[in-house]
Structures are given as structure tokens and as C-alpha cells.
Amino acid sequence: MQKRYRRPAAVGLAFLATGLVASRVSAQDTMYVAGYGGSFERLMREQVIPSFEKANNVKVEYVAGQSTATLAKLQAQRSKQEIDVAIVDDGPMYQAVQFGFCAPIQKAPVLDDVYPIAKLADQAVAFGIGVTAPVYNAKIFKEKGLPVPTSWADLGNPAYKGQLALLGAASTTGLHGLIMVARATGGGEPNIEPGFKAFKDGIRPNIVTFAPSAPKLEELLQSGEIALTVVSRSRAVALKKEGLPLETVEPKEGAAALMVTMCPVVDSDVPAQAQKFVQHMLSPEIQKAFAKAGYGPVNRKTELSEDEKAGLAVGDEAVGKLAKIDWPTVNQNRAAWTQRWNREIER
């Protein structure tokens, strides 16, 4: 990302019969939004960004990447931030707030309509409630006679050998998998050891590859190279709507809650537009677009049909059934877990 210069885009000079007159052409600012790639990037580019650009006379440049990559950019650009709005998962967002990368969110009427659970801090808010769960290709499962998983521990079932691909523990989705497998085998965030043991003894032999990104997992599912993975349910919903025969597992230990969050970044040179973009993302119209892509809305005024609610965590009761991650404990240990993962599992 190159250094930005937000000077007026053009100043026109018009020569009129009565003399030389300067004609001003309205300036257009550029705002940088960093967020996920894959199907989420398509949603942002096609349904979210255009209406914001039109209403606010601003050009939005979208920078795609995993949450950890966006957090790394914020760290690298600490003295001169290039990103104006950061979109990351809830775990990295707690770190971004802790490290001082996020500016306070200004009060606005739309924030009064947001569920309290979505307000992570004064500087960060969720715009969607996602779910991380095992997802499988129903067509391949039927053809091969594979059993449908009922527990996170079932990822180690030898029947899935050569059918499984996952993200590594450096990603939020991969970390969710490690934590939930640990819970399913007698551990959890305070005791991750059972999770590592389950991966080494049973799950690792089933894995075809550790994908570098969620979009790559989507490619493997679409090509039929794998039949089972762990992804955000929103991705599965989006791909199913495109015709892929995907089904989501409801593990007995619960699916992991994944809050997709955003914050206006400190030292932005378009702070007003950044605040407006946060409000735009929380508006009922945009919340409905996210809901259609598989994210539970955080704005209680979002109107959804029964079909649109299918598969989503909508309302306090549904959210209460999700497995909530202990992010303070996770963030204290995450670096060590990632190093151990790279050394023992993904080597």
C-alpha cells in the first residue's frame, strides 16, 4: 500500500469570454478499508461499498486479507496508519483495541439499535454474528457413505482420511477448531493440551492440506478435492446459494461464536468518513445484505423473512446457544500456541 495524498483530485481552468475564471472541481477523498477476502470481498465490493461511495463522495479502496494480516498491517504502520477502517474477527479486534489502533466510535442513532453483545468496546463494534463450524459436501458424503460428524472430536474419525482440509491455528477459524476440539476432548482455553493431542493422534492423519486462506478452502470444496472442513458458516451459506451442496454440522459442544467486527483506525486523515462507514455497515439495509450472506444481524431493526433467518444466529436466544470463546485467555497464549502448532502439527 502506497502513501496516500488526499489533495483535490482536479482543479479545472475555464477560459470564458469575459476573462480567465477558475472553475473548481469537487475533491474526492480516498478511504482504505481492510477486511476479509473471498465471498466477503465480493459482497463488500458489490453491495456495500458502491452505495457508500455515492452517498459520501468518497472513493473506497478495499484491501483484502485475513484478520491476522490486517492486524500485522496496523502494527507495521503504527506511526502512520494507511488503513482507515479495519475489519477483523473478534479475537484480533480485542488485540487491536488493546494496542491502541482503534479510535473511539462516535455516538449515532444507529448505535442505539445495536444489540449490547455486539459492542466490544468504545472503539469497536460487531457488524455481524458469525458461526464457525464443520462443513461438509453432502453429495460426496452420500456417494462415499461417510458418517455426518456430531462432535468436534469427530474430525479425527479415520473415515475422513484424505477428505479433510483446514486452516492453521494462526487464523481465527483454525484457532476455533483447536479450541473446540480441546473442549470436546476434556480441555479448553485454560487447558489446550487435549486439543493438540487430538490433532496429532487423529486429525492430522486425515488432513490433505492446510490451506493458506479461507478462499482456498472454498476452491477445494468447489473442486471436490475435499469433502469436509471448518469454516465460517457465512461462507458455507454463500457457496450453497451458488449451488454447492454444502451442509453445516451442529456439534454437540456447540458451534463457535465468531463476531465479525470493525473499528475506525486512529490517525485517519478521513476520520469523518470512517465514522460514517461504521454507521453505514450497521444500517438495516446493509445488515440485511450481510444476513443474506450468512451473518446474523446486530441491528435489531433489521427485517428478515423466515427464509432469510435460516441458519443464522438471530436474537439473544440463538446467540446464547453458541460457544463463546474466552479471548482474554486465548490472546495471552495465542503466540505460544501458534508456534507450537507450526512445530508439531503443520510441519
Give how far the C-alpha of residue 120 lies from the chain's centroid of Cα atoms, to the nearest Å: 15
Are 129 and 171 in contact by the 8 Å Cβ rule? The answer is no
DSSP string, 275-328: HHHHHHHHSHHHHHHHHHTTPBPSBTT----HHHHTTS--HHHHHHTSB---HH
Q: pLDDT tens across 290-317, in order? A: 998 888 999 999 999 988 887 788 877 8
Are 105 and 123 in contact by the 8 Å Cβ rule? The answer is yes
Q: pLDDT tens across 79-110, in order? A: 899 999 999 989 899 999 999 999 999 999 99
pLDDT tier at 27, thresholds 50, 70, 90: low
Q: Residue 4's pLDDT is what?
A: 53
**pTM of the predicted structure, to 2 decimals:** 0.71
Q: pLDDT tens across 189-233, in order? A: 999 999 999 999 999 999 999 999 888 998 999 899 999 999 988
Mean pLDDT of 107-131: 93
Pairing of strands 256-264, 124-137: antiparallel
Quick check: 17 pLDDT over 70? no
Domains of the chain: 11-127+260-313 (3.40.190.10), 130-257+325-344 (3.40.190.10)
Q: At what angle do helices 172-184 and 327-344 cross, to 10 degrees?
A: 90
Give 66's Cβ-side CA count (13 Å radius). 20
Minimum mean pLDDT range among 55-69, 114-128, 159-173, 234-248? 234-248
Q: How many CB atoms lie within 10 A of CB 133?
A: 26
